[in-house]
Every structure is written in C-alpha cells, then in structure tokens.
Amino acid sequence: MSLLSIQNLHASVEDHEILKGLSLDVNAGEVHAIMGPNGSGKSTLASVLAGRDDYDISQGSVTFQGEDLLEMDPEERTREGLFLAFQYPVELPGVSTHQFLRTAVNSVREHRQLDELSVSDFLKLMKEKAEFVNLDPKLTQRSVNEGFSGGEKKRAEIFQMAMLDPQLAILDETDSGLDIDALRVVSEGINKLRNEDRAFVLITHYQRLLNFIVPDRVHVLVGGRIVRSGGPELAEELEAKGYDWLLDEAGVSA
C-alpha cells in the first residue's frame, strides 16, 4: 500500500478547474519531485493536500496511510503525519516560536497518545532539532516568522518539520527566493531528514534544487495533470529544453 495515493483528483477554485484528473502514488522512503510551469497547479496540489478549504474537490480520492485524507481537518492531517512547508510562511506577530511549537508538538503527541513533553524536554528537543537542521537558535527565541528574511523563513519551515517528525513532507517551492548558500543549507536539512520511513514531495519550478536533493521520481505537472514521469534525468531534460515541448505535447497553451 502506498503512503499517499492520489487518484484522478479534480479541484477547482470559484468554478475554475485547476487540477484535472491528477494521479500520484508515493511510497514510504521515496522522494518525488513535482515540476511544472507557473499556473500548472503545483501549489494547488500542496494546498489541497494540506486541507485549505478554498478548493472544491469534484472528483477523485486521496488516501494517506490508507485513510481518506480529504475527510480530515487540516490539523488532523498534520497530527496523522503530513507536513506542508509553506511557499510563503505566515508571520504570527507576538506569538513566540516556543509557545507555537510546544502547542503544535503536544497537539500531535496527544493525537498519537503520547505523553505531553515537559518544558525541559521540549526545550531539549528544540535545541537538538535546531542544531540538526543548522538553524540559528536566536530565531527560535523570536515571534513566529516575524521579521524573518525570506531565507530565514524557509529554514524555519525545515526546522518545524524536524520538530513535528512527519511521515510525509510536502515542500511547496521551498527553493524559491533562496540564494545558493541558503539553498545548500536548506537542502542539507532536508537530506538529513530523509530516511526509509519518511517520504517527500518536492514541488519546484526549477531543477537546481534537485542538484542538492536527488529525487527517486520526477513528475511533470502541466494543465492540472501529470503528463510525464521519470527518474532524475527527466529534471535535467527539463532544465535543458524548458517546458514548452511538454506543453505542446499535452495540447496546453502556456
């Protein structure tokens, strides 16, 4: 059984259909890259999986660990082990990162019938994970994302992922807006979190992220459907040739 199984998914926003029959299977331990031009539905896929309610699902199904994902509230999805790293992480003025993550971690633990972490254990965990993903501990002493640079926000997302220890992480254009050094740090964090139980879906416009994180599978999303799948070499082909030839093939105008 796949960890995540998406079958013939159709999703629309205000009567405008964006996903038009998308299917994808992800197994534990695998890293899948989803690439595609702007407007192909990449971020919609991430939002639908995380449970944003701006979308109407007219057809199709999504199961996560065998359960109907679309029936779950967003917080339940996360507690079940799904994690979305946001393309644009949201600032929460005045909300301490400590308080925010402690509420998050303990909500997840409660759901998994684990004891709540004590303050000292929580602080230990935070320190350990910040070191693990190479995050400046000063950032954990500030309000959530408030006044962070673009790069700091992306790194904080990877840190939050490490804290919540998901089975499936969806990274929505985590590479966008990063310079090469920041990209390296973020990628290192992700690579460290890679293991045989955890799967990743990397959503990206550019191939360069895949120089740092080598995916098992690459899928090309065009016009709301996956039009081609392959190994890492597909990403290189896209880098060389662009998306136009696939758009033509799929009969979609850019």
Partner 1 sequence: MSTYTEHDFFEDVVEQGYKYGFVTDTPSAKAPKGLSEDTVRYISAQKEEPGWLLEYRLKALAHFFKLLDEGKEPSWAHLNVPAIDYQDAYYFAAPGDRVKYDSIDDVPQEILDDFEKLGIPLREQAALAGVAVDAVMDSVSVATTFKEELAKDGIIFCSFSEAVQNHPELVRANMGKVVPYTDNLYAALNAAVFSDGSFCYIPKGVRCPMELSTYFRINEANTGQFERTLIVCEEGGYVSYMEGCTAPMREEYQLHAATVEIIAHDDAEVKYSTVQNWYPGSAEGKGGVYNFVTKRALCSGRNSKVTWTQLETGSAITWKYPSCILKGDGSVGEFYSVAFTKDYQQADTGTKMIHLGKNTRSTIISKGISAGHSNNSYRGLVKVNPKAENARNFSQCDSLLIGDQCGAHTFPYIEILNHTAQVEHEATTSKVGEDQMFYCQARGISEQDALNLIVNGYAKEILAKLPMEFAVEAQKLLSVQLEGSVG
Binding site for partner 1 (CB under 8 A): 50-52, 73-75, 78-79, 83-84, 86, 89-90, 92-96, 99-108, 110-111, 116, 118-120, 143, 160, 164
In angstroms, what is the minimal distance from the CB of 112 to partner 1?
Answer: 10
The rounded distance, in Å, linking the Cα atoms of 86 and 83 is 9
Taking the least distance from each CB to partner 1, the nearer of 94 and 251 is 94
Tokens of 85: 């790293």
CB 24 within 8 A of CB 6: yes
Rounded to whole angstroms, how far apart are CA atoms 33 and 50? 17
Tally Cβ neighbours within 10 Å of residue 187.
Answer: 21
**Which residue's CB is nearer to partner 1, number 13 or number 95?**
95
Residue with Cβ nearer partner 1 (122 or 206): 122
> Tokens 């992800």, residue?
26
C-alpha distance across the termini of the chain, in Å: 36
Q: Please state the closest distance from residue 171 (CB atom) to partner 1, in A.
A: 13
As measured in angstroms, the least distance from the Cβ of 95 to partner 1 is 4
Which residue number, 161 or 247, has a Cβ lying nearer to partner 1? 161
**Shortest Å, Cβ 137 to partner 1:** 18
Q: How far is the CB of 21 from partner 1 (least distance, A)?
A: 26
The three-class DSSP label of residue 148 is coil
Residue number, 116 or 136, with CB nearest to partner 1 = 116
Question: What is the rounded CA–CA span in Å between residue 169 and residue 160?
Answer: 11
Nearer to partner 1, 73 or 248 (CB): 73
Closest separation between CB of residue 115 and partner 1, Å? 11
In sequence order, the β-bridge partners of residue 63 are 5, 68
Contacts 24+ apart (CB under 8 A), 72-78: 74/50, 75/107, 76/111, 77/49, 77/50, 77/51, 78/104, 78/108, 78/164, 78/166
